[in-house]
Structure 1
Amino acid sequence: MTGRPDRNRLKAALWLLAGSLAWALAIGASAALSLLWREWQNRDAQAFVVALFGAGAFLAYAPATIIAKYLGGKRAETRFAATMVLLAGATIALTAVFFGYWYRLYYARWHEPAFSIGWTFQYVFTMAAAFYHFLVLGLRMYLPLGLAALLAFSLMQARQRR
């Protein structure tokens, strides 16, 4: 046995890890640049927001690109579109979930005891409000650098053979 399949899997895993790190850095840089433009004064909050966006991007990259690879088919245009939609959607969704839990953690001290009916309503509506706030306030953090990174990463994925 030559060990070739194991080497190929390791190489693919390392490429996914490298891509995840690069994507997280690009999205974190986009958030940092956006915060600088808005002249946020609180450095601790800036670091937390950049880390939140980076974590969402890091965890979204591998599943999004793997699914896009299988859905994209043989045509480069289809792979490009699939990667764009899935990478953007997964990154936004995971970052919104992280933001929602952070939001929930803040308001938890005023909520009813866990797993009660009142707590369930409070949990659901707090998370819904957090997602709404993220869509209103957080999506602009991806512009303009995040959009350029999305185009570049999608183009790289489209050029790779299946």
Structure 2
Amino acid sequence: MISERLKAARPPLSDLFAGAILWGIQMLASAMAALYLRNGMETAHVRDLAMHYFAGGLLAWPFMLPLGRFFAHRRSLATRFAAFFAALAVGTILMTAFLFAMDYRVFYSAWHASFGSLTWVFQFVFTGASAVYQFAVLGIRLFLPLGLLCLFGTSIALAKRMR
């Protein structure tokens, strides 16, 4: 049973690569639309935000598509939809938050202790946690409203495509 699920979870390479690019573009469009609606894209960090949201979608897709397929295997249409919806939503948010955390780490590394020391570990953990918290408070909003529509449409398409 598990081996059958694992086999079904492996998507074709074209779905992984093309899907990753398309999902990244959708997340980029979502962030840019939200920035435009909120403040006319008047921020000094538009390029950085665009890269983070595109990369978050691009890098989340290859992990979340197989996960969604694993949980959707031989399930009803509604369950397949829910599996893809949950996997893509959680995975994209987590990957984008991770990228923000690594960006913070790069910025603050000039003031951090030497690599591998106990102080460095605390600084690394708390810098990452601060970045993830800030992303949760401020960054998730850039996935709305367009990102939610993209998530809904993509999840329906994936659920219908997988039988």
| Number of residue pairs matched by the alignment | 151
Runs of 4+ with deviation above 6 angstroms: none
Give the TM-score normalised by structure 2.
0.87
Cross-structure match for 1:161: 162
Instruction: Show the 5 A alignment for 1:61-80.
Output: 61-74=61-74, 75-80=76-81
Cα offset for 1:92? 0.6
What TM-score, normalized to structure 1?
A: 0.87
Return 5+ residue gaps in structure 2 as ranges: 1-10
Name the stretch that deviates more: 60-69 or 50-59. Answer: 60-69
Residue 69 (structure 1) shift: 1.1
Between the aligned partners of 1:118 and 1:99, the Cα distance in structure 2 is: 21
Structure 1 equivalent of residue 13 of structure 2: 13
- In the alignment, the residues of structure 1 paired with residue 148 and residue 162 of structure 2 have an alpha-carbon distance, to the nearest angstrom, of 24
Amino acid at match of 1:16: L
- Superposition CA RMSD, Å: 1.5
> Percent identity, aligned pairs only?
36
Displacement after TM superposition at 1:37 (Å): 2.3
- Give the 5 Å matches for 1:115-126: 115-126=116-127
Aligned to 1:82: 83
Aligned to 1:30: 30
Kindly provide the CA deviation profile for residues 67-121 of structure 1, in whole angstroms up to 9, marking residues without a partner as x: 1112113211111000000011110111111000001111111111111111111
Cα distance in 1, alignment partners of residues 151 and 157 from structure 2 = 10
- The CA deviation at 1:146 is 0.2
1:143 deviates by 0.0
Q: Which ranges of structure 1 fall in alignment gaps of 5 or more residues?
A: 1-10
